Structure 1
Amino acid sequence: MIGRNIRKTLMELSSQMPVIALVGPRQAGKTTLAKLTFREHAYVSLENLENRNFAHSDPLQFLERHRNSSGIIIDEFQHVPTLISYIQNHVEKQSVKGQFILIASENFLHSSSITQGLSGHMALVTLLPLCISELDKEGLLPNSIEEAVFKGSYPHLYSEFVSPTIFYPNYILTYVERDVRHMSNISDPATFKLFVQLCAGRIGQVLNTTTLAQDCGISIPTAKSWLKLLEDSYVIFQLPAYKSSFGKRAVKSPKIYFYDTGVACSLLGIENPSQAATHYLFGALAESYVISDFIKYHYNRARTPQIYFWKDNHGHEMDCIIVQSTRVCALDIKAGKTISEQYTKGLNYWKALTRENPTTSFVVYMGSEYMPTTAGTILGWKSIDRITTPPSEY
């Protein structure tokens, strides 16, 4: 198994809470991680129809039959969310740390019955596909950004050496035909798939729900509900605009990105790294790859990412703003591989506007050099851990 940075966090939380909810997209490695971390726990999957029916019909007996002295891992928990009240009753009577590990391919935070039912008893951990540092440690990180963007970050592609052109079309088809129908009653899967493709065509752009709905031939409320569905199942994320006192004329709508650029490339019909490099959306795809890695960094530490973008009505922009406890980091992301004197233009504007310390401003480009400047630091995409990780942890 490829080593996962989140495992340490998972172990720490399980020593403090009786219930751990491990959520994230399908094929991100949740089941493998849970089985490896909690080797002594019993395991049962609700993907199995017999198990699912048993859990529905007799939840108390289901828990008694499958749970051992160490605890239980319940996979695909979203299929029988009513189990939560029985788990709640159990932990209120007998609170054993790390006893219940609940795995789901949906975001628990959007279910009030679950979050309220286990309030104070449950820690939520989000596992996304592999991050840059995980791939780098295993010697699996692609050499070029084009290959990284095209291949994406799902573990199966690296552990089993499956081709992206085989993996992603099947992944998308399974998602549309199985997960979406479970999560929402969508009567027209073909239109929904078109909607997802249209979202891929808007990657890195400020979201305009009205035009997205019009282009897909659906209502605005339907477009909003489908966007939420894509977010809840970890296909896309909306990057909110940074609110500040200096940005009175700043853009306020969010941008749209994909958690995994391999999914986006497949939806865009990109068939190889060379095609990705020359695609008109390559810059936005590279942005998505970098920004999603910062989200992974925070989720791997069970932190809520405070990540934004900033853009004013005159075209000045910071592609990514990361708010941490002691500082605010501003990033300009460039798709080029050769450092240009124009790279610091945006940082200089940002410094003049905000009077922020240049040590918290960065240009991330697709090369490999590391260059401090008076406006900020220029560094390659493979080294972005330097931005979020304290120097003592390099």
Structure 2
Amino acid sequence: MKCSNFMVFGYHGQMIERSVLKSRLRHLLDSFRAVELVGPRQVGKTTLAREFISTDSPNYFDLEDEASRRRLTYPMEALADLQGLVVIDEVQHQPQLFEALRVLIDRPTHIHRNGQYLLLGSASPRITHRQESLLGRAVTLEVAGFDLSEIGSSRENVNHLWLRGGFPGAYLPQTDDVSATWRRDAINRYLYSDLPQLGMNVAAPLMMRFWQMVAHYHGQIWNAAEPARSLGIGETTVRRYLDYLTQTFMVRQLQPWHENLGKRQVKAPKIYFRDTGLLHSLMGVKTLPQLLAHPQSGASWEGFALEQVLRIAQPDQAYFWATHQGAELDLLMFKGSQRVGVEFKRADAPRVTTSMRIAMNDLKLDALYVVYPGLHRFKLADGMEAVPLWAMLPGGGRNRGVDATRMRVGGKD
């Protein structure tokens, strides 16, 4: 396989290397017959796939291209004799392909010299597998925008990523105006083109109003009643719209954790935009001074930091926790038998709160980290530490931040 350095180039020559992402995909391709590479449009899935196969290869199919669609009119005939890596881009456009792929993947390799399949999609497999599931036959790798490990830990880079988001087309332009224009156009393409192509038929102006309402819920517990009243539609319809945004990687529904505590605990999910650049576009924010002065600045930073922690820590499971008595924990991560709590505070010097002590005790946490946008790591109390966001990066060192193995949940100093 062709595996050069996976670089994304900015308009002014800036290079962003995505070596970790490429390594993860290479490892999966070394171990499995089929890999589903999923993530929103324009995030770099096709660029990554091209590191492993040329687009001129007869094994490469782009289902947004008419010629590729014609070649796959009879999928078994087109795919049965292909050997090596077969790439099908935007596979959600032909969900009937999954029936043929299931048969091909199941063929014994000692009888048939089958191909190996890399399937690129812009929606959750639950959406693309409407007719046939590849459960147990394919593994999934999600591709998101740039993260801290890719853009570096300087304050300027971190603020740049927070403001613009991680889509290459939004992060890399020379000016904030160009970035804002790209994000605005991306939102329109999503509403007027992407959703209808996925069979999610909602009038674009209505979906835009709903998405703007969701922006005001960023970092909050979801309640379908208010958006339903405002839009004049039923709560079931509102929940379906939210699922559309979730299944196309626009929104994260962080589910609540329930412990047997004898306390009333929150059961509705928390809502976060996966990409803060799109959030800021819907908020009308173009520059960092505007963002810092915005009343939702704190909630925006919390969602940004949460997404970075999840991508770097790679926990087995992740939840939030809250009780109706007021105790809460922004993020509860599980890795094996370890339980790690995370609070996000956009403050210069975070302190221990009563809520944090309750969470530490009731949830029996192995550690609780308070992630903040400062410069130094310091102890808050037994089992609790304040941690700069950038300090999660591997190789940060004890003087600069948290040991990488610890922030991957449950490691030791």
Q: In the alignment, residue 162 of structure 2 is paired with which amino acid? A: V
* Residues 1:30 and 1:187: Cα distance change in structure 2 (over 3 Å): closer
Per the TM alignment, residue 312 of structure 1 is displaced from its structure 2 partner at its CA by 1.5
Is 2:165–2:171's contact at 8 Å kept on the other side of the alignment? no
Q: Identify the residue that residue 339 of structure 1 maps to in structure 2.
A: 349
* Residues 1:331 and 1:354: Cα distance change in structure 2 (over 3 Å): same
Question: May I ask how many residue pairs the two structures share in their alignment?
Answer: 379
- Tell me the alpha carbon deviations over residues 307-336 of structure 1, each in whole angstroms, 9 at most, x when there is no partner: 111122232221111111131111111112
Per the TM alignment, residue 144 of structure 1 is displaced from its structure 2 partner at its CA by 6.7
Q: Identify the residue that residue 381 of structure 2 maps to in structure 1.
A: 374
* Residues 1:119 and 1:308: Cα distance change in structure 2 (over 3 Å): closer
* Residues 1:346 and 1:185: Cα distance change in structure 2 (over 3 Å): closer
1:120 to 122, 133, 136: 136
Q: Identify the residue that residue 149 of structure 1 maps to in structure 2.
A: 162
Q: Identify the residue that residue 351 of structure 1 maps to in structure 2.
A: 360
Q: What SS does the aligned partner of 1:5 have? A: helix
Is 2:285–2:291's contact at 8 Å kept on the other side of the alignment? yes
Q: Identify the residue that residue 13 of structure 2 maps to in structure 1.
A: none
* Residues 1:224 and 1:391: Cα distance change in structure 2 (over 3 Å): closer
Q: Distance in 2 between matches of 1:296 and 1:6?
A: 11
* Residues 1:58 and 1:144: Cα distance change in structure 2 (over 3 Å): closer
Matched, 1:51 2:68: yes
Q: Identify the residue that residue 310 of structure 1 maps to in structure 2.
A: 321
Q: Distance in 2 between matches of 1:177 and 1:356?
A: 45
Structure with the bigger percentage of helix: 1
Matched, 1:60 2:71: no
- Tell me the alpha carbon deviations over residues 202-228 of structure 1, each in whole angstroms, 9 at most, x when there is no partner: 101100011121122222121111111
Q: What SS does the aligned partner of 2:31 have? A: coil
Structure with more relative contact order (C-alpha pairs < 8 Å, separation 6 or more): 1
Q: Given the two structures, how large is their TM-score scaled by the length of structure 1?
A: 0.87
Q: Distance in 2 between matches of 1:236 and 1:148?
A: 17
Note the 1:236-385 alignment, pairs <5 A. Answer: 236-246=251-261, 248-297=263-312, 305-336=316-347, 338-340=348-350, 342-357=351-366, 360-375=367-382, 376-385=384-393
Is 2:340–2:409's contact at 8 Å kept on the other side of the alignment? no
Per the TM alignment, residue 391 of structure 1 is displaced from its structure 2 partner at its CA by 8.5
Q: What SS does the aligned partner of 1:143 have? A: helix
Q: Distance in 1 between matches of 2:410 and 2:375?
A: 19
Is 1:152–1:260's contact at 8 Å kept on the other side of the alignment? yes
Q: In the alignment, residue 183 of structure 2 is paired with which amino acid? A: Y
Note the 1:53-202 alignment, pairs <5 A. Answer: 53-55=70-72, 57-63=73-79, 68-95=82-109, 99-113=116-130, 116=133, 118-136=134-152, 143=156, 146-159=159-172, 161=174, 163-202=178-217
Per the TM alignment, residue 98 of structure 1 is displaced from its structure 2 partner at its CA by 7.0
Per the TM alignment, residue 83 of structure 1 is displaced from its structure 2 partner at its CA by 1.3
Q: Distance in 1 between matches of 2:310 and 2:132?
A: 22
* Residues 1:277 and 1:160: Cα distance change in structure 2 (over 3 Å): closer
Per the TM alignment, residue 13 of structure 1 is displaced from its structure 2 partner at its CA by 1.6
* Residues 1:284 and 1:156: Cα distance change in structure 2 (over 3 Å): same
* Residues 1:28 and 1:98: Cα distance change in structure 2 (over 3 Å): farther
Q: Distance in 2 between matches of 1:134 and 1:144?
A: 10
Is 1:132–1:293's contact at 8 Å kept on the other side of the alignment? yes
Q: In the alignment, residue 382 of structure 1 is paired with which amino acid? A: W
Is 2:341–2:365's contact at 8 Å kept on the other side of the alignment? no
Alignment root-mean-square deviation, CA = 2.7
Q: In the alignment, residue 104 of structure 1 is paired with which amino acid? A: G
Per the TM alignment, residue 44 of structure 1 is displaced from its structure 2 partner at its CA by 2.0
* Residues 1:115 and 1:186: Cα distance change in structure 2 (over 3 Å): closer
Q: What SS does the aligned partner of 2:119 have? A: strand
Per the TM alignment, residue 147 of structure 1 is displaced from its structure 2 partner at its CA by 3.5
Q: Distance in 2 between matches of 1:62 and 1:98?
A: 12
Q: What SS does the aligned partner of 2:290 have? A: helix
Higher mean C-alpha deviation, range 43-52 or range 200-209 = 43-52
Is 1:237–1:258's contact at 8 Å kept on the other side of the alignment? yes
- Tell me the alpha carbon deviations over residues 70-103 of structure 1, each in whole angstroms, 9 at most, x when there is no partner: 2211100100111122222222225468711110
- Tell me the alpha carbon deviations over residues 217-273 of structure 1, each in whole angstroms, 9 at most, x when there is no partner: 222121111111111100001111111122622211111001100010101111211
Question: What fraction of aligned residue pairs are identical, expressed as a percent?
Answer: 24
Q: In the alignment, residue 349 of structure 2 is paired with which amino acid? A: I
Q: In the alignment, residue 163 of structure 2 is paired with which amino acid? A: F
Per the TM alignment, residue 281 of structure 1 is displaced from its structure 2 partner at its CA by 1.0
Q: What SS does the aligned partner of 1:130 have? A: coil
* Residues 1:102 and 1:108: Cα distance change in structure 2 (over 3 Å): same
Q: In the alignment, residue 25 of structure 2 is paired with which amino acid? A: L
Q: Identify the residue that residue 13 of structure 1 maps to in structure 2.
A: 28
Per the TM alignment, residue 294 of structure 1 is displaced from its structure 2 partner at its CA by 3.1
Q: Distance in 2 between matches of 1:289 and 1:115?
A: 35
Per the TM alignment, residue 114 of structure 1 is displaced from its structure 2 partner at its CA by 6.3
Is 2:98–2:132's contact at 8 Å kept on the other side of the alignment? no
Per the TM alignment, residue 297 of structure 1 is displaced from its structure 2 partner at its CA by 3.4
* Residues 1:306 and 1:114: Cα distance change in structure 2 (over 3 Å): farther
Per the TM alignment, residue 52 of structure 1 is displaced from its structure 2 partner at its CA by 2.3
Is 2:313–2:408's contact at 8 Å kept on the other side of the alignment? no
Q: What SS does the aligned partner of 2:50 have? A: helix
Q: Distance in 2 between matches of 1:237 and 1:188?
A: 22
Q: What SS does the aligned partner of 1:125 have? A: strand
Q: Given the two structures, how large is their TM-score scaled by the length of structure 2?
A: 0.83
Higher mean C-alpha deviation, range 97-106 or range 70-79 = 97-106
